[in-house]
Amino acid sequence: MAIVKYKPTTNARRGMTSQDVDQITTHKPLRSLTHSINRSRGRNNQGRITTRHKGGGNQRLYRDISFILPNDFSGVVEHIEYDPNRSARIARVKDVKGVYFYILAAKGMKQGQKIEARSEAPIENGNRLELKDMPVGSFVHAIELTPGKGAQLVRSAGTSAQLVAKDDKNAQVKLPSGEVRILSVECTATLGSVGNEQHQNISIGKAGRNRHRGIRPSVRGVVMNAVDHPHGGGDGGRHRMAKAPRTPWGQKTLGAKTRHNKSTDKYIVRSRHQAKRR
């Protein structure tokens, strides 16, 4: 996957980049695996903005991704497709009964590749197995948190986790953030890393491109009036803030703890914060 640069024919095009779409084999999704979505555009049922900087954007159909596959699944990749709802590419897979599925496309996945999801599946990229059936050191993605619930972890483009240890009941998985987490060995995962690894290196280039994605402009607090933001007022933003950075509602941000789920702390062997300090 390469990065495509544009000629600087305009100021907006200077520095703009996009992805090479050679890996994509079709531009039309399978209608039976898509449905329309009613986007709230950041507003609640009273029309009030509850999530800022959202609205507009191109219309898009949602692709129904199978984050859990049937037992003893075997199929063939028919197409690699673009999905406007996620950073990763998706693969259209047809099983032996003629039923179609959408799955996340692993790095290096190609048309005609055979995909299996069973305990005796070969240790190859794209195959889905339980953690107990994988060798220690394997790189995986689309990991279950609860057996049978479907993949919830490591689904973004270019990401992968590593199986670092396991015993009869539990496995330890090192996530992309550096966190080491305990999971049941009966949780399933897909071998390899998620494809489209150059996604993070794309330069948007102009504001209009973000508007097409449904992202509205973000205004800095220091350029607002004092009545509108804790950082507002003063000499046009050249002053220093006396307090730690705040949200428009006065709550601390940039470093404030956001995780409050203490019930699952026992499953974390090493937090992502401890990993960064090393």
pLDDT tens track, the chain, 278 positions: 678 999 999 998 998 999 888 889 999 999 999 999 888 889 999 999 999 999 999 999 999 999 999 989 999 999 999 999 999 999 999 999 999 999 999 999 999 999 999 988 999 999 999 999 999 999 999 999 999 999 999 999 999 999 999 999 999 999 999 999 999 999 999 999 999 999 999 999 999 999 999 999 999 888 889 899 988 888 766 666 678 889 999 998 888 888 888 899 999 999 988 888 76
Name the residue among 107, 117, 75, 108 with its Cα closest to residue 92: 75
Could you tell me the residue range of the domain that residue 138 belongs to?
3-199
The answer as to whether 131 is a domain residue is yes
List the Cα angle 52/58/14 in 5-degree steps: 85
> Do the domain assignments include residue 72?
yes
Do the domain assignments include residue 114?
A: yes
As for how many domains the chain has, the answer is 1
34's CB contacts (< 8 A; 6+ apart) are 61, 62, 63, 64
Assigned domain for 255 exists: no
Among 225, 205, 221, residue whose Cα is nearest residue 213: 205
- With respect to residue 238, please indicate whether it lies within any of the assigned structural domains: no
Sequence-ordered list of residues with C-beta below 8 angstroms from that of 190, at least 6 positions apart, any chain: 103, 104, 106, 126, 127, 128, 140, 141, 142, 151
Q: What is the per-residue pLDDT for 236?
A: 65
**What CATH number is associated with residue 17?**
2.40.50.140
Can you tell me which residue has the tokens 């307090």? 243
User: Helix, strand, or coil here: 270?
Assistant: strand
**In this structure, is residue 266 part of a structural domain?**
no
- Which of 88, 93, 128, 118 is CA-nearest to residue 104? 88
pTM: 0.89
Confirm if 162 and 130 have CB atoms less than 8 A apart.
no
Contacts of 56 (CB under 8 A, 6+ apart): 41, 211, 214, 216
Rounded-to-integer distance, Cα 139 and Cα 174, Å? 9
Inside any domain, residue 214: no
pLDDT score of 194? 96
